[in-house]
Chains A and B, each alone.
Chain A
Amino acid sequence: MPEDASESAGREHRALAALLLLFALAAPALAGEIEPAAVVRVASELAERVAREAGAPEPVALQVAAPGADALAGPLAAAISEALSRRGFAVALFAASSGPGAEEAARILGADRLLRVVAGLVPGRRELVVSAESVPTRPSFFLQRVPEYRAGAARLLDFSVPADETTLLLARAGSRAGSTGPALFVRPLFQVEERVLAVGAGADGIASLALVSERSVSVVSLGGVVRARYALDPDVRGPRRPAATAAVGSLGAGRVAIGRAGAGGLLLAMEAGALLPAGSFPAVPLAAGERGALFGAYVPGKAVLADALSLSPDPAPRPRSEREFVSFAAAPRPGRVAFAWVSGDGVATLLGPDLEPVGPPLEGVGAGLALADLYGDGEPEVVASAPDAGATDRVRVLRWPAGAGPEAPPVVVLESAALPGSIQCGASADLTGDGLDDVVVAAALPEGGSQLWLVTSDLRFAEAR
């Protein structure tokens, strides 16, 4: 019988998960000051609580499940097993079905206690939550002839710890790769009165958006609450149609870098609830991702960017080529595709981490562009608006089939219904805290102002609001 592709992929991901776990376990030993991975902390805490409850070491049957983050289950089981073993418990990993039958099976296995653990990430909070049921399996003298009766009261152990990057990566690994992944949702967030020219997204503790309009920069929560606002200098001799960029990420906590055509770059920092200027630079910030900041330059007098990409804010950027583009996107976690731009005629060029083009260009892409790893498979998808938008626009998500690189034809895995307005910009980050990237796009509305939309696979947004 031919091997099922998903099984094969699953094995690969379990292997990856194990490697990551080894790294996570070894890291604290190598450097004492490093915080242990969340799975290790959860295992340690759980073992401690079980030991307190049991009073003395005993044989334990361990059953671990991580629905929605399958790759977490193995490392978590290993970590809990190791933590219990250190406390003198004899642990048997156990995969029987749930229910009273499982307790009976655990008893037959020789275990005095069944530890049934369910783990998962808390959407929106970047937390690893564990809910464990500790069930004594010792036979009662009076009830031993009635197997469906429990030998003793089960105890619920319920707690959570902050999810670190390793744990988030584990949660993503393998759960969805090789398949089309979970459903994607396009959901309205909120409207703003000013027309948004650029949006930056970051999840620095609290998910925030940086919205740049012609007159101001606002840091706004995902719910539309303005946390801080900075009024921009109106006397800028820019192009006839204003253009701006926004970058949030590696610049530091609470920092937003913006660029305006005709005005260069400006670094703003949140201080005591206010957004204050923290510096300026001649170049235009385009991205601030895991690989650091990336800068560019507007063509003088025009609302288009020159191909003058640079890792530093060069005061006199030299164009690498004569290419010009109207929109730029950076993947929060670069894969083979790290950046992309859209030229004025609606052609998207994908760039690798080395800023060199990757794969053939994509035609028919609007200015609303973002790169985001919506499926957690390590390769960003292209989220694009339509080039022919008018009173309405659409969001499309393009994905390369599993195993195929950006040289292959992408697949449209999502095409939204008509959305009011014309999408002008987009940005990506893990805004819902589920460990997967999300995308925010801003659509300019015909009556003025902008509507913000979220593209996500977070099930909390499955219900249309």
Chain B
Amino acid sequence: MRRLAPLALLLPLAALAGLPPRYGGDLGVALPAAPANLDPARLSDPSELEAARALHSTLVETGPDGALRPALLAALPEAEPGGRAFRLRLRPGLRFHDGRPLTAADVAASLSRLLAPGTRSPHGWIALPVAGADDVREGRASSLSGVQVVGELELRVALDLPFPEFPRALAALPAAVVPRGGPVTTGAGPFRLASRGEGTLRLAAFDGYWRGRAYPDALSLSGMDARRAARAFARGEVDLVVRPESASGAAARELPSTTATYAVVNAKRLGRLAADLRHALLALDRSELARLGGRGHATPLAGLLPPSLLSGSPAPAPRALARVAGNPKVELLVAAGSDGNRALADRLQVKLFDHGVRAAVAVVAPEALASRIASGSFDLAVVSLTFTSVGAQPALLEAAWALGGPQASRRALSRLSQAEPAAVAGELAEELGVVPLFAAGLHASPRPGLLGLEVLPDATVELGDLSVAPRPAREGRAP
């Protein structure tokens, strides 16, 4: 028998799974960059994806186990016979952060704006299967003819082609519902935007969140480079670091490798040279390129999609490469702001020179790069794509849209009704002149005592589930 003091009674309080998560606290999260774009329809990198996860809600979502589950919808979408239409029914009582009710009309408008030219969304692939998508995309209509608002909480979505995986596409964060007429920073997610400062977003828990209020009272999302993040983590100024490298001293979790890097060869412009160039790139040692250009945990990429989205064959071994005849010159485009991709482009320049190709590296703005790829005015480009979708079929539409534009995405959609995703991925890579290089992912490093870290398949963290463990007992402290 032991006699104990009334305080400090039992154990050191390390991880309190024996108690429910605690509400309260102001958590700091370090991200690779400050989230610049809070419009879910325009998000493009992991930092923006994480911010969207905090601010916005989708109709359905992919759980940690990979299973689709209803989110804003009361139940998973019901396919009508033939699979070319879905019935969507919202949960009752949903509200946006500003108190406005979230209705079927908001859902319809959010789908349409993914394709509207004014939105300049790189995620039109989500609404592309919906009837009337091209009319909206080309500015002939302002709303999708295939979306019919049946009632305040119910709508029917008709597709051009049978696409059973359409509900999975709706789980991608760019498909989040925003209020008609904006602002797009107002969502229905677990946190609302409190303020936006230099490199930092301040978010506050949204009491009306449909899944229940988040555990933390507030969040600060800050863009930090590796050094600053490490310093802030060591000082206890941030509670969670989500960056390519893991924070020192933390039990880091690997997030799924959903950022893929490709070399894209423009066959239309380069003619016969394109095949030689693609052959040369395919012969490179992708493991070496992954080490060089991929930050975080990077793996050589064998196919168009990362293994987390479509498990495929192992990365091909490097092959001997003959010199390309004629010492051709090409322009190698790379987006500004990505140090990893710039280093990768420099390395490719050297490798190609060794094989008789003279590549001039040109650094352009990300929007300019996307525009030149879409218009076909490039020779060779290094492109990184952060997938927002989960599931092979939606991911193929996403990749085709990003690497070949809307028409490529539509062709992929058409092929998916006839062939397996792996076959479509191979055909698509060939058609688009894409050479997959590697896929990389981030690490999530929580500070000790941070509980509830749950990683979702789209490589985001459910920030509303985070909570702080109680501090160890102190003698004489009142409860």
Contacts and interface: CB of A to CB of B under 8 A. Distances in A.
Interface of A: 180, 235, 237-241, 243, 262, 299-304, 323-324, 326, 342-349, 359-368, 384-390, 393, 396, 398, 409-413, 422-423
Contacts of A304: 20, 23
Contacts of A237: 93, 210, 212
Contacts of A423: 18
A191 B386 CA distance: 44
Contact of B6 (A326, A342, A359): A359
30 contacts: A235-B74, A235-B91, A237-B210, A238-B212, A241-B212, A299-B23, A300-B207, A301-B208, A301-B212, A301-B213, A303-B212, A326-B19, A343-B479, A344-B21, A345-B470, A345-B471, A346-B470, A360-B7, A361-B6, A361-B478, A363-B10, A368-B18, A388-B11, A389-B18, A390-B15, A409-B3, A411-B3, A412-B2, A422-B18, A423-B18
Contacts of B91: 235
Nearest to B20: A326
A253 to B, nearest CB: 33
B212 A387 contact: no
Contact of A364 (B2, B13, B212): B13
Contacts of B213: 239-240, 301-302
B17 interface: yes
Contacts of A389: 17-18
Contact of A410 (B6, B14, B478): B6
A240 B214 contact: yes
| Dominant SS among interface residues on chain A | loop
B423 interface: no
A326 B20 CA distance: 7
A300 B206 CA distance: 12
Given A364-B9, A387-B10, A347 B479 contact: yes
Contacts of B214: 240
A271 to B, nearest CB: 31
Contacts of B470: 344-346, 387
Nearest to B465: A240
A409 B17 contact: no
Interface string B208-231: 111111110000000000000000
A324 B20 CA distance: 13
A11 B355 CA distance: 105
A117 B207 CA distance: 68
Contact of B10 (A343, A360, A365): A365
B16 A387 contact: yes
A409 B479 CA distance: 17
A361 B18 contact: no
B464 A413 contact: no
B357 to A, nearest CB: 55
Contacts of A348: 479
B295 to A, nearest CB: 33
A393 B20 contact: no
Size class of B's contact patch?
35 or more
Contacts of A345: 13, 19, 22, 470-471, 479
Nearest to A357: B479
Nearest to B205: A301
Contacts of A367: 18-20
A241 B14 CA distance: 21
Interface of B: 1-23, 74, 91-93, 207-215, 464-465, 470-471, 473, 477-479
Contact of A361 (B74, B465, B479): B479
Contacts of A384: 10
A413 B7 contact: no
Given A363-B10, A386-B10, A240 B17 contact: no
A70 to B, nearest CB: 23
A409 B15 contact: no
B229 to A, nearest CB: 28
Nearest to A303: B20
Given A240-B214, A302-B213, A364-B10, A386 B18 contact: yes
A237 B470 CA distance: 27
B479 A422 contact: no
Given A241-B212, A411-B3, A411-B4, A363 B15 contact: no
A303 B467 CA distance: 13
A366 B429 CA distance: 55
Nearest to A391: B17
Nearest to B213: A301
A302 B23 CA distance: 8
A244 B57 CA distance: 26
Nearest to A385: B18
Contacts of B12: 388
B20 A388 contact: no
B20 A243 contact: yes
Nearest to A393: B18
Given A238-B212, A410-B6, 14 more contacts: A299-B23, A302-B23, A323-B479, A344-B23, A344-B470, A345-B22, A347-B479, A363-B473, A365-B10, A366-B18, A386-B10, A387-B470, A398-B9, A423-B18
B461 to A, nearest CB: 15
A226 B308 CA distance: 44
A388 B12 CA distance: 8
A347 B17 CA distance: 14
Contact of A240 (B22, B464, B478): B464
A243 B21 CA distance: 12
A112 B343 CA distance: 113
B19 A364 contact: no
A241 B462 CA distance: 14
Contacts of B18: 346, 366-368, 385-389, 393, 422-423
Nearest to A364: B10
A299 B20 CA distance: 14
Contacts of B21: 241, 344
Contacts of A410: 4, 6, 9
B63 to A, nearest CB: 13
